[in-house]
Structure 1
Amino acid sequence: MTTSKGRVRNKRGEGAQLRDEIVSGATRLLVQGGEHSVTLRAVAREVGISAPAIYQHFADRDAILFAVAEVAFAELEHALNDVGDHADPADRLRAVAVAYLTFAKHSPTRYQIMFGGVWDASKSLQRTPSMAADLAELGLGAFRIISRATADCIEAGCSTGTDPHADATALWAGLHGLAQLQVATPLFPWPSGLQSTLIDRLALLRG
């Protein structure tokens, strides 16, 4: 809920709390109003601070959106980790893949910003080369879960694949493509069982 009221000044050592509130405020604006609703002034109003106070934590709008993406990727990573135990490695990989698609479906706005849908990562990198290391790490936690599950399938003989990294990359690309398509074309007559078919084929799982 947007407010123009001033906030109580954080105590010494509570700067991290304000940073988190700025990211949460930007996320709310994105979910409620889309990309154009996120400006430094709008975020400041949402959090209840002055616009200049944002610069204590973020250099510009891109930096805020990057932080929102980081939080969203952390939530995705948690969702992929939280699929429970599966005795069969193939079942675990399928569960991880379905959790990925479910996250994208239930959080379409966040998913868009995670992959540059409302900001241009390349231009941000040109403006701020120091972001390179952070951009290189963005999303790797979630990918490593997919990669580890893929490797377990290959090791257990559940998959005909031989290169865990290449196979996990192919699966991730396919999941991302399906997630984006289903958000963009919700009225398309998607075949029943498409998710299972896509996952099994891309992961080279044995029948």
Structure 2
Amino acid sequence: MREILDFISQPWPWYVAGPLIALVMFSLLLFGNNFGISTNLRTMCTILGAGKHCELFDFNWRNQIWNLVFAAGLVIGGFIAHYFLTPSAEVNISQETITELQQYGIEDPGSSLVPQSLFSWESLATVRGFVMLVVGGFLIGFGTRYAGGCTSGHAISGLSNLQLPSLIAVVGFFIGGLFVTYLILPFLLTF
């Protein structure tokens, strides 16, 4: 039993995780479903009656129950992985990254999953924290709606379906991520 827990608690190699993702995607395609997490927000808004006020939310949400169950499984799986399968709370990052983050004013990088000086209720009261959390969250939500889906939906499901708009969206996600990482984030961290 201990060997199984040791195997589960370690990151799975690509040759195990990749085929499992492909199997899930094949199953979804076989049953005519598309994968995407941002769809759940639309479904929840529809369940709460938003379809009476906005055409976007006027659809049969019962066809999306499987996706809500999948999202609940992600939350439950994350909880189990964090509290029962994670051997240490320490984040394993390189010394070079730690040094660079310290130069940007991040206190104790690598001691937790996210820097508490950036992602906490106290940091929300600062300009930098407000921009990172509220403005960043708004941009993610706007971008998800504008792109017609989230990164997981386009990168996993859309590319599996060989959809050109998903390929364009994924290329845009990577370009945007590199742009923000190298040009905007260093400015925000030193602000």
**Normalising to structure 1: TM-score of the pair?**
0.29
Structure possessing the higher relative contact order (Cα contacts under 8 Å, 6 or more residues apart): 2
